[in-house]
Chain A
Amino acid sequence: MTDAAALTARLDPTDLPYELRPFPARGARRTELDNSFAAFLTEESAALDECRYQDWLDLLDERFIYQLPVPLLREDPSLPRHSDRALLFEATKQVLAMKLGRVGLQYAWSDRPSGVMRHFLGAVRVFSAAEPDTWRVDCNVLVTWSRGRDEAVVVTAGRQDLVHCSGRGGYRLLRRRVLLDAEVATHEQLSVIF
C-alpha cells in the first residue's frame, strides 16, 4: 500500500480536508439543474471579471480548495491526462483572499498595472455527488487576460466544481479543479484564476 493510500485508509475520508480527498466522481446526470447552476457560475465568473473580489470570495465555502493538477503528455490516450498527485498550483480560500487583496498593495508588481480578465463558460453540466446537498458541475472554460501591447493570453481548460446548494438558493463552491489543455503553460496563463 502506498503512503497516500495508507493515509486515506486510516481516516474516514470525510475527516480529511478537501485537498486530501479524491475528487468526487460524477453521479447521475441532472440535466434539470443545468440552467440554475449555469446561472450561478455565470455570476461567479462575472464577479472575478468585474473585480468584485469580496463578492467572489463570499461564494467560496470556508473549506474551499482550488487545484491545478500537472498536465501529463502520455503515449496511451486511455490513461489520465492530469496527475492525481502533482499540482501546478493549489490554494485555500485564505490564499485566494491574499491574492485578490494584492490589488490594494502598492508593491504587488504582478498585479499593478492590473490586466483585464474574462471568463467564457461553455456547456455547464450538473451531476449528483456523494455528499449530501452537493453537486458536481463540469464545464469548459476559455479565459483571456490582457495587459499592455505585448501581453495577451488565451487559455482553455476543463473545469470541475463541487458546489454546495442548500436548496434555499444559496450556492457555495467547495472545490474547484482546473484541467489545463496545454501540457506546459506560460507564467501568464498560470496567473489567472479560472
Chain B
Amino acid sequence: MAEALRRQESLPGFPLDRRAFFDDVVLDREFRQVFKESWQLLGFASELPDPGDYLVRRLGNDSVIVARDEQGGFSVLLNSCSHRGTQLCRATFGNAAHFRCSYHGWTFANDGRLVGVPSIRSNYPKDFRKQDHDLPRARVTCYRGFIFATWSDQAPPLEEHLGDFRWYLDAMLDLAGGEWEVYGPPQRSVMKGNWKVVTDNFAGDGYHMGTTHQAAFEQGIYGDSLADGTLGKGELELIGINIGTPQGHAVRAGYVVQKGRRTLPSTVTDPAYIGYPREVWEQFTAAQTPEQVRFNSHCEVVHGVVFPNAAFLSVSHDRAIGRENDPLTKYVVWRVHNPIDARRTECTYWTLVPRQLDEDWKRRSYAFQARSQSAGGILFEMDDFENFARIDAAISGTVADTAPLDLSLGLGLGTPVPDFPGPGRAEYLTLSEHNQRAFYRRWAELMEEGTRD
C-alpha cells in the first residue's frame, strides 16, 4: 500500500490509496512504523499537579500510565503487569504511589519499578530478580507543559522531532504570557472514520469550511468575530497561510486584512489579539518577540497538526452562542486522535486557557469551545463527524477501493510569503491541501521504511 502511494505520487494530482483509510492491515503497519517511531502528545503537566497523580492514556495501541513521581518528574509506563499482562490501572485517573496488580498482587512503584511480588522468597527461583521485571517505560519529554512520549529508542529528541513547528508552538504559547492550563478533565468521544481523516482536516482544510459548515455560517455562530468588528466586517477579509514541515507537522493561520489586500503587511504598528481582552493587548505584546507579534497579531484563526495524531485550533466566538453582553472570546483546543481500529477513532479534547486571565474569561472561553466544537458540539463539530462517517460509509467498496483520492488542491499555486516571521516554507493560498500533502508525505516515508529493498 505504501509502495502504491509512492508510485502514484509521480502522477499529477497527488492521489492517495483509499486502503489507507479502512484497512486494519494498514493500521497494524501504522502502529509499528508511524506511531511507535514518533513522539505523541499524551496530555499536559497541569493535569498532574501533585506527586502520585496519574492518568491512563494511549500511546499507539498500548495503554499507558502517565504518572508524576515524588520528584516531580513524569513516567510513562506500560499499563500491563509484567507477570501475566493484566491491566494495572482500570480507572482513567487518580493518585497512587504504587500500582498493585488485581490478579496476583505484583506491585509497581509509580516510576515503574517492580517492588512487591507475593511469595517471592518461598515460591520463586533463587535467581528471580525484581529489577528484570520493571514495567516498560517510554521516553518522555515535557515541553512547556505538553507531555510527549515515544516507545522508540531511535527517534530523535522531541525538540528535533518538532523541528520548525517548535517556533510556532512557542509563539502560540508566548502570546498570552507563556503560562497555560487545561480547563478541567478533557472531553472524549468516539467517532466513525479513520484517524487520519480527522487529523488531516486540522492540518489545513480551509476548503471544507464553506460546504461542511455552511449551516453554521448561515446561522451566524461566529457572530462579529471577524476582527472584533473594529474595522467593520465589510471592509475585511481573511488571508490563509500554510506551513507544512518535513516532519509532517502543519500550521494554517488566517489573518484579517483590509479587503482587496493580497499580502500581509510587513510590519505591525498596532498589534491586535482577536478574542482576548483589549486591556491585556499591550502586556501580550511586551511578552513576545517582534517576530511572534507579527505571527499572532490580527490572526483570527490558527489550526494545525503535530504529526502524527495531535491537532490544535484557536478561534473566537461571541454573543451569537453566548449571553447578550459576551465579548468576542478566543478558545484554544488541543486534540489527540487515537485509532481504536482502522474505522473508529477516539478523540480527546483539552481546552487550554492562559493562567493570567480571570476566571470569568476562562469559563467563557471554555463554554464557547463546549458549545461549538466539543465532542457534543451540535452546531459545528457534528457536521465534521457527519462527513467523516460518510467517508467511512462509502470508501471501501470493491469499485470504490480502486479509485484513488485526490489531494491536489493548490498544488503548485501557493506563493512564498516574503519576510514571514516564522521558519519553514510559508505560502499564501487560502484554499490549499499543501499541509495535508506534507502530512501524508511524512506518513508515506515512515510507512515505506523497510519496504525499499
Interface residues of A (CB under 8 A from B): 3-4, 6-7, 17, 19-20, 68, 70, 72-76, 83, 85-92, 94-95, 98-99, 101-102, 105, 107-110, 150, 183-187, 190-191, 193
Contacts and interface: CB of A to CB of B under 8 A. Distances in A.
Nearest to A151: B389
Given A86-B185, A91-B371, A75 B91 contact: yes
B169 interface: no
Contact of B190 (A7, A94, A185): A185
Which 6 pairs across A and B sit closest by C-beta, in order of nearness? A89-B376, A86-B184, A110-B386, A3-B359, A108-B215, A85-B184
Contacts of B94: 74-76
Nearest to B89: A75
A89 B374 contact: yes
B258 interface: no
B367 interface: yes
A193 B363 CA distance: 23
A170 B363 CA distance: 32
Interface in B296-333: 321-323
9 contacts: A4-B363, A83-B184, A88-B376, A90-B371, A91-B371, A183-B92, A184-B189, A187-B189, A191-B385
Contacts of B189: 88, 184-187, 190
A190 B185 contact: no
A102 B215 contact: yes
Given A109-B386, A109-B387, A187-B192, A90 B93 contact: no
A191 B367 CA distance: 17
State the majority secondary structure of interface residues on B: mixed
State the majority secondary structure of interface residues on A: mixed
A99 B372 CA distance: 11
B219 interface: yes
A105 B219 contact: yes
B185 A20 contact: no
Interface of B: 90-94, 96, 183-192, 211-212, 214-215, 218-219, 221, 321-323, 346, 358-360, 362-363, 366-367, 370-371, 374-379, 381-383, 385-387, 389-390, 393
A85 B358 CA distance: 16
Contacts of B92: 72-74, 183
Given A184-B188, A190-B189, A86 B379 contact: no
A105 B187 contact: no
A86 B47 CA distance: 13
Contacts of B386: 109-110
Nearest to B381: A187
A2 B241 CA distance: 40
Given A75-B94, A110-B382, A70 B323 contact: no
Contacts of A72: 92-93, 185
Contacts of A73: 90-93
A184 B344 CA distance: 13
Given A109-B386, A110-B385, A95 B379 contact: yes
Given A70-B186, A73-B91, A88-B375, 15 more contacts: A3-B358, A19-B367, A73-B93, A85-B185, A86-B183, A89-B370, A90-B370, A92-B321, A95-B379, A98-B219, A99-B378, A109-B390, A184-B189, A185-B189, A185-B190
